[in-house]
Structure 1
């Protein structure tokens, strides 16, 4: 039987809940400590870890920054007994929609592989805006944004960049970043995120 959109959403929310718990436990952080590092309240973290909410992209970004990892790491599926595959088939790539802006992100990089580069495909609705208040725990991380169609305005700190199809922006992610689609058509872009190798042990 085909999985419905709501079933997929529930599955991803539960996956996120489990990953936040795992990553927090691996670092020996209490709820209070993660709240202080991320800027997300203890009660909200608790709700996320129980899978009782559909967190926004901005909130997940704060949590991943507080955990010193990437947003992609929060979407990783549980590792089974078989070794991770170096190939991620399109049908198996987790797709998630931000309940706030409506943007859809697809994680392209195979899960479970220790990698310094992660790829994410994004479909950004007309008029959509996402603000990321990136924390200090992301110093040394970097990303590139390559626009495949449409246009996107990316503001890094106080510097504004208007990107059209074919344009590519590289920037560190140790300061506030916002994405805005000012046009009447959807934008489609690729994000390449680089940083320390990610793995299930993070």
Structure 2
């Protein structure tokens, strides 16, 4: 038995996640056994954390649950750290587009939101043909400069201190009309 306040092991989190995936679908152990081709007793022991799954069994379960193994394992990662130091925030640059993206609060399997700092050079345009996930919620708060954001065919001019918020279902475009760059915070919340 683990001490109160001690973190659960990865195996214990995986066992709990496997049990939750089955119950979310309303399947009995017998039904899962039929679908996955894994014995009922093995499944029961896996979900109770008495047995660690082999790669083959985990692969069979991932197929039944329509997940890649990496996605399933990401879903059982430990809780995200509370503090993300600036030096550890990933930065990606697209010099040709004049765009810099800092992942201030990176995505994590245990969290539904992330925070990004975007900087777009004057005159730059970034177009997204499709949302990363239909219905994703976005809040864009401009810190400095001005940006024109096109969502659902409507152009919104967003200036310092303004916040544009919406659910994204189609293409979008960010345009910095200048004369200076725009710097903004983008909050993304998964549906």
Query: TM class by shorter-chain length?
Result: 0.5 to 0.7
Partner of 1:122: 118
Distance 1:173 1:83, change over 3 A: closer
Asked if residue 191 in structure 1 is aligned to residue 171 in structure 2, the reply is: no
Partner of 1:175: 170
CA contact (8 A) 1:87 1:110 kept: no
Structure 1, residues 140-192: CA drift from partner, whole Å, max 9, x if none?
31101100100000000211101110110001111110000001211110000
For this pair of structures, how many residues does the alignment match?
121
CA contact (8 A) 2:104 2:117 kept: yes
CA contact (8 A) 2:113 2:190 kept: yes
CA contact (8 A) 2:80 2:110 kept: no
When the two structures are superposed, what TM-score results if normalisation uses the length of structure 2?
0.56
Match runs of 1:32-43 below 5 Å: none
- Find the partner of 1:139 among 117, 134, 141: 134
User: Could you list the runs of 5+ residues in structure 2 that have no partner in the other structure?
Assistant: 1-62
Distance 1:112 1:170, change over 3 A: closer
Distance in structure 2 (CA, Å) of the matches to 1:83 and 1:194? 18
Distance in structure 1 (CA, Å) of the matches to 2:103 and 2:113? 12
When the two structures are superposed, what TM-score results if normalisation uses the length of structure 1?
0.54
- Find the partner of 1:89 among 72, 81, 85: 85
Distance 1:155 1:88, change over 3 A: same
Distance 1:181 1:119, change over 3 A: same
Distance in structure 2 (CA, Å) of the matches to 1:171 and 1:111? 19
RMSD over aligned Cα, in angstroms?
2.6
Distance 1:130 1:111, change over 3 A: closer
SS in 2 for 1:165: coil
Distance in structure 1 (CA, Å) of the matches to 2:123 and 2:82? 36
CA contact (8 A) 1:105 1:120 kept: yes
Distance in structure 2 (CA, Å) of the matches to 1:174 and 1:83? 30
CA contact (8 A) 1:147 1:164 kept: yes
Asked if residue 109 in structure 1 is aligned to residue 100 in structure 2, the reply is: no
